[in-house]
Structures are given as C-alpha cells and as structure tokens.
Amino acid sequence: MIGLKYGIVGFRGKMGREIFEYFSTFGDECVLKKDVDSFEQTDTPQVIIDFSSPSALEETVKLCREHKIALVLGTTALEERHFEMLRELANEVPVVQSYNFSTGINILRKILREYTRYFSDWDAAMVEIHHTQKKDAPSGTAKMLRNDMNRDIPISSLRIGGVFGEHTVIFSNAGEVVEIKHSALSRRAFSIGVRHAALFTLKKQKGFYSYEDVLNENL
C-alpha cells in the first residue's frame, strides 16, 4: 500500500528517525510528530507508532482513543499497568505490541519453540554480541529466546565495537554441533516489521496483537 498516514511518538529518537526514513521510501506521510516538549500535527493519522519511553504511553493511548486510531508500540521496559492500559485500548482499536519487531528474530522464536525438544539430551547455550553502548546483559532478546526454548541454558554476552546485534543458539552432543544464528545489520531490521504491523492494523477493527500475529497473517 502506498500513502500510509501515520504518526510517530519519539520522533527525534534513533528508531523514530529510522522509521521516518524507511516509511518515506514508500511515499508514506508522517502527519503527527511527537517528542518530549514537541508536538506537530498536520492531519489525522491512520496509525500511531510509539518508540519512545514508557512515560509517554498514557498520552499516546489518549491520542489513539481521541482519534480512534491504531497503535504500533515498540517501547520496551513496560510494566503491568502499561499492559493494562493497552488491553483496555485494544477493546476499541487495534494494538500491536512487541519488544522485537525484527522478522528474523520472530521466525527464530518459532523455530526454537518447535525444535528445541529434539535436542533435549544435547548441551545447549547461547552467545549474544552487541556494541559497547548497550547497557543491559544478557539482552532482552536473548532472555526471550531462552524462554521460548523452555530450557535454562547459559547465555554468554560479549560487548565489542559496533556490532548491531547477534544471537547464536548452539546445540552440541559428543559428536556434532548445530548452530542457529541471527544477525541484525541495522535498525532497518525493526522498521521493516513496524511497517508490516502498521499495514496489518488497517485490516483490523480492534484487538491486542503481537508481531507474530502479523507474521501469521501473511503466511
């Protein structure tokens, strides 16, 4: 689809700028730009995309409710009270929330959920590598993948140079090794998924969805 009208909360941030740049390649129009102490609106968006901070969510939800528009939410570190707000909003409009909008990571999650059981008597571990500015270790994504495996495996975290994000799951027995690896090359890994999610909301009346629901819809 060409000509999506959307809004961004966290417009000046790294993800906000990346989403704006990527969506522009399709001729989409950013008609609402919100950040700390700035708000600019030229039209009513069809969907609001929020990659900012949990503290922004209350106002974002208000905006969506006021205009009866969908929400795609990528902000991390949400608490239960935020999820409550989202579930309430989802009774009125479509909401897609995910801590990781990368298509590859979401496919990897499905693979791990389905196939980890075949390695039940093998050793398993994960190595995750990120740039030196990353504050948390292990990464939220690594913990999510381990959770999908339903196995308490060791995670080794390396922080070197400018590596954008690598997660490798390793299975090994005495005679062989199987490695499954995902590398994010740039923030584009997320903005591609965000656009899929934004288009997905246009086909829905209301409801609370994950990025996996978006992927399943396109199968």
- Tell me which residues are annotated as active site: 130, 134
Smallest separation (angstroms) from ligand NAD to the CB of 80: 17
| Secondary structure of the chain as H, E, C letters | CCCCEEEEECCCCHHHHHHHHHHHCCCCEEEEEEECCEEEECCCCCEEEECCCHHHHHHHHHHHHHHCCEEEECCCCCCHHHHHHHHHHCCCCEEEECCCCCHHHHHHHHHHHHHHHHHCCCEEEEEEEECCCCCCCCCHHHHHHHHHHCCCCCEEEEECCCCCCEEEEEEECCCCEEEEEEECCCCHHHHHHHHHHHHHHHCCCCEEECHHHHHHHCC
**Binding of ligand NAD at residue 55 (CB under 6 A)?**
yes
Tokens standing for 113? 């959920």
d(CA 144, CA 142): 5
Residue 56 contacts ligand NAD per CB under 6 A: yes
Which residue in 169, 180, 168, 172 sits closest to 122, CA to CA?
172
Which residue lies nearer to ligand NAD by CB, 7 or 16? 16
Counting contacts by CB under 6 A, is residue 20 touching ligand NAD? Answer: no
Shortest Cβ 204–ligand NAD spacing (Å): 19
| Least distance from ligand NAD to the Cβ atom of residue 12, Å | 4
- Estimate the crossing angle of helix 188-202 against helix 14-24, to 10 degrees: 70
Does 191 participate in binding ligand NAD (rule CB under 6 A)?
Answer: no
* Total residues binding ligand NAD (CB under 6 A): 23
Tell which one of 4, 33, 34, 182 touches ligand NAD (CB under 6 A).
34
Residues 78-117 that bind ligand NAD (CB under 6 A): 98-101
Task: Output the smallest distance, CB 213 to ligand NAD, in A.
Answer: 15
Q: Does position 130 bind ligand NAD by CB under 6 A?
A: no
Contact set for ligand NAD, span 61-80 (CB under 6 A): 74-76
Does 13 engage in binding with ligand NAD (CB under 6 A)?
Answer: yes
The yes or no reply on residue 52 touching ligand NAD (CB under 6 A) is yes
In the complex, least distance from residue 146 CB atom to ligand NAD, rounded to whole angstroms:
18
Q: Which residues bind ligand NAD (CB under 6 A)?
A: 9-10, 12-16, 34-36, 51-53, 55-56, 74-76, 98-101, 190
